[in-house]
Structure 1
Amino acid sequence: LCLQETKAQEEQSEVDLPEYEEYWHSAERKGYSGTAIFTKIPPENVILGLPEDIMKQFSLTDTYGDTTKEGRVLTLEFENYYISTVYTPNAKDDLSRIPMRQQWDPAYLAYMKQLEKKKPVVYCGDFNVAHQEIDLARPKENRGKKGFTEEERAGFNAMVEAGFVDTLRHLYPDTKDLYTWWSHWGQARERNVGWRIDYVMISGALTPILQKANTHPEVLGSDHCPVSIELSM
């Protein structure tokens, strides 16, 4: 179970899931960003953030802050695979964080490719981009706006071109109205005027064992809904 934008330190949270082990990566700034993973299977290794060599390759600090100190990436290593969760920086309404996205997206991809050299990877989270027109209800009206700029979409394209698989689109390439985020305004959720910005990606090697991929809009409590996959390990 992977969570993004937890906005809490571990000690601030009371989660009643006794059968799960909890792993948190919180932002240094309290009440902001953050990721967590809950697992019934104990991991072999817990990795917070991006590795040092990748952080040196990319410029991940801007006027808004240092993204490497915001708890945006958490990765668990298991015997036969890695699971990573990510909370991608938002481009902002005025697109002032597009330059950051042009650094962040390739940095995270480089990390996933680095892990994949050792074993297959499952990674998921809020990527803050609708990849294709089918992934949002109003593509024409939102083209060029945050979450649907050419720069952000190119970042997602790069993941696909690197061989990672968008699990939902692999199983449902042409199915419309599969959204994971809705504005609080204008009864957007009730009318299903949404965006698909939350994804579960897998290494191509795992595609043969992909059984299910779903969105769960019936689960309330957030402006996002959960997404899930099932692999026959």
Structure 2
Amino acid sequence: MKLISWNIDSLNAALTSDSSRALLSRAVLETLAQEKADIIAIQETKLSSKGPTKKHVELLESYFPDHAITWRSSVEPARKGYAGTLFLYHNTLNPTITFPEIDAPSTMDSEGRIITLELDQCFITQVYTPNAGDGLKRLDERQIWDKKYADYLASLDAQKPVLATGDYNVAHKEIDLANPSSNRRSPGFTDEERTGFTNLLDKGFTDTYRYLHGDVTGAYTWWAQRSKTSKINNTGWRIDYWLVSNRIKDKVRVSDMISSGERQDHTPIVMEIDL
């Protein structure tokens, strides 16, 4: 089974805008279409509460003609056009789909952050983890989220193996970002967020990229758009992950990044697993 995950940073912009960045985003979609993945997880869709429009669906079907779509958007009392997730899954699959809430603080459960697919042999779940925010204004809530989410994954794992992916908004170790010393209290690299991710792994999960590649450096999934040279200089962060239940880690064959070319922000990640 081949699975891809990507934080797209606005599905509407990627599909319908004529901006130079949108053209780069569509080039990534064309790359993903060529990958012939069974499942594609997409985060930060930023769609309305009504989800993808008819035009969005038609365009997605042009890239992924053999896939069905399920989605979750941010709804009141959360912000409109914020966060959001979407799955494309091959139409030969027949998953049970849930939109879990984890008793998260504030409006986090209303922000469309988690979708879970249940197949006979496993759960496949994606997450768009809340960012701690400028000035770490959401760090306290983020720590609660991390604990609740870890407990949720553990509850799935108690039933059957789990494949979990998404934008976790944390660089776990110093080797997961280019400049750790200057980012000690930056959102995504606080001790609290890193400890939260360690706690998640300690619940019985494996970071598949590190499992296959060891302590390789310079491997990132995100480059800041605010810096025009971040990708050229590879001053990136690895904040997107494929995790699996420890008991099936030996079944993972591939866990890597897919090139997004000149496009900054997130790059897609791919995992192949023999279940």
In structure 2, the residue matched to 1:213 is 255
SS at match of 2:175: helix
The 5-angstrom pairing of residues 162-181 of structure 1 reads 162-181=203-222
Pair 1:87-2:128 in alignment = yes
CA distance in 2: counterparts of 1:72 and 1:78, whole angstroms: 20
In structure 2, the residue matched to 1:201 is 243
Per mean C-alpha deviation after superposition, the further-off stretch among 67-76 and 222-231 is: 222-231
In structure 1, the residue matched to 2:31 is none
The 5-angstrom pairing of residues 124-143 of structure 1 reads 124-143=165-184
SS at match of 2:254: strand
SS at match of 1:228: strand
Structure 1 residue 186, shift from structure 2 partner: 3.6
In structure 2, the residue matched to 1:149 is 190
Residue of structure 2 aligned with 1:25, choices 60, 68, 72: 72
Unaligned runs of 5+ in 1: none
How many residues get paired?
A: 223
Q: Deviations over 1:151-181 (max 9, x none)?
A: 0001100011112000000111211111001
- Contact 2:68 2:89 (C-alpha < 8 Å) held by counterparts: yes
RMSD after superposition: 1.4
CA distance in 2: counterparts of 1:129 and 1:220, whole angstroms: 23
- 1:34 maps to a residue whose letter is G
Q: Deviations over 1:122-179 (max 9, x none)?
A: 0100011100000000000101211100000011000111120000001112111110
Residue of structure 1 aligned with 2:232, choices 190, 214, 217: 190
In structure 2, the residue matched to 1:115 is 156
Structure 1 residue 218, shift from structure 2 partner: 3.6
Pair 1:4-2:43 in alignment = yes
- Contact 1:36 1:74 (C-alpha < 8 Å) held by counterparts: yes
With CA pairs under 8 Å and 6+ residues apart, which has the higher RCO, 1 or 2? 2
Q: Alignment identity in percent? A: 38
Structure 1 residue 44, shift from structure 2 partner: 3.2
CA distance in 1: counterparts of 2:93 and 2:262, whole angstroms: 29
- 2:52 maps to a residue whose letter is E
Under a length normalisation based on structure 2, what TM-score does the superposition of the two structures give? 0.78
In structure 2, the residue matched to 1:47 is 98
Q: Deviations over 1:36-68 (max 9, x none)?
A: 111114233100132xxx41xxx511xxxx011
Structure 1 residue 30, shift from structure 2 partner: 3.3
Structure 1 residue 205, shift from structure 2 partner: 1.3
- Contact 1:49 1:71 (C-alpha < 8 Å) held by counterparts: no
Per mean C-alpha deviation after superposition, the further-off stretch among 78-87 and 36-45 is: 36-45
Unaligned runs of 5+ in 2: 1-39
